[in-house]
């Protein structure tokens, strides 16, 4: 009986290991098939860039997405924007500086329009990572089979329309024949190319999206600059205190010895 149990245990373990290996393999093949992530740098200390990003966000995103955890007053303070200027240039959905950044659209209506309610973007830069969000915003391409007329390299069949088309223009997919899992050749979108330019040049557009993603990174952790500043002084204090403590120890132990 004891032996039987051990046998069952071992089989169980084997099954588990098999499942784990299968899951790992699936993950690796998925990862290798997905479009590679772009890599970008954002600087949440660069206030001019954050201000430009905030303006883009208010103009192009807040109509559908909210950022419930941020108040306009805090935004104005953190980004060094005087309240009067903030009211005029950033606040299109509310006129009370103490309000949080709520979308005016009813989430239920949004769901009937898009099929999914646009999610709150307060922490999206942390949840998805800045590289992914940048890749998402820059890789919309024309796809007549979708209700919105576009698809996306990072987020297949996303319900979000290409809201930055005026700035970026329109991209067409680059299609190649690639073998799928069963070895059959299928048409796969491997990249995008600009077909109709928008109001901004390609580099200008990338810079604008970097500002926007930088702003989303700030949104997802508004206290980061403060945290880093305080951390710096705390470490300094500890270093000085260590020196003082050491000298004190030295002084006391001189008498003991």
Near ligand HEC by CB under 6 A: residue from 38, 129, 161, 225? 161
Residue partners of 202: CB distance under 8 A and separation at least 6: 194
Near ligand HEC by CB under 6 A: residue from 49, 53, 58, 65? 65
Contact call for residues 210 and 40 (beta carbons, < 8 A): yes
Give the pair of three-digit tokens for residue 87: 């009211």
**Which residue's CB is nearer to ligand HEC, number 63 or number 188?**
63
Contact call for residues 222 and 77 (beta carbons, < 8 A): no
Near ligand HEC by CB under 6 A: residue from 150, 164, 208, 219? 164
Residue 160 near ligand HEC by CB under 6 A? yes
Q: Cα 123 from chain centroid?
A: 7
Near ligand HEC by CB under 6 A: residue from 63, 73, 94, 100? 63
**Which residue's CB is nearer to ligand HEC, number 14 or number 104?**
104
| Residue where the block lists tokens 């006391």 | 252
Helix axes 47-60 and 202-220, enclosed angle (nearest 10): 90
Residue 148 near ligand HEC by CB under 6 A? no
Count of CB atoms within 10 A of residue 162's CB?
A: 21
Span near ligand HEC by CB under 6 A; candidates 1-9, 35-43, 130-138, 231-239: 130-138
| Chain contacts with ligand HEC (rule: CB under 6 A) | 60-61, 63-65, 114, 116, 118-119, 121, 124, 128, 133, 136-137, 158-161, 163-164, 212
């Amino acid at each position: 009986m004891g032996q039987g149990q051990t046998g069952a245990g071992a089989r169980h373990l084997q099954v588990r290991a098999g499942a784990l290996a299968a899951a790992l393999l699936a993950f690796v093949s998925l990862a290798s098939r997905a479009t590679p992530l772009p890599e970008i740098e954002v600087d949440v200390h660069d206030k001019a860039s954050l201000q430009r990003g905030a303006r883009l966000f208010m103009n192009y995103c807040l109509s559908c997405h909210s950022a419930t955890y941020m108040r306009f007053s805090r935004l104005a303070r953190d980004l060094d924007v005087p309240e009067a200027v903030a009211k005029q240039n950033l606040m299109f959905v509310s006129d009370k500086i103490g309000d949080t950044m709520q979308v005016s659209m009813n989430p239920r209506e949004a769901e009937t329009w898009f099929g999914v309610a646009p999610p709150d973007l307060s922490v999206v830069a942390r949840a998805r990572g800045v590289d992914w969000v940048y890749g998402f915003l820059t890789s919309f391409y024309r796809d007549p089979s979708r209700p919105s007329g576009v698809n996306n390299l990072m987020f297949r069949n996303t319900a979000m329309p290409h809201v930055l088309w005026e700035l970026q223009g329109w991209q067409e997919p680059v299609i190649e024949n690639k073998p799928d899992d069963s070895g059959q050749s299928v048409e796969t979108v491997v990249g995008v190319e600009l077909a109709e330019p928008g109001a901004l040049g390609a580099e200008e557009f990338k810079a604008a999206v970097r500002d926007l993603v930088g702003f989303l990174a700030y949104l997802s952790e508004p206290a980061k600059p403060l945290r880093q500043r305080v951390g710096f002084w705390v470490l300094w204090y500890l270093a000085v205190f260590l020196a003082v403590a050491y000298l004190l120890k030295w002084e006391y132990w001189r008498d003991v010895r």
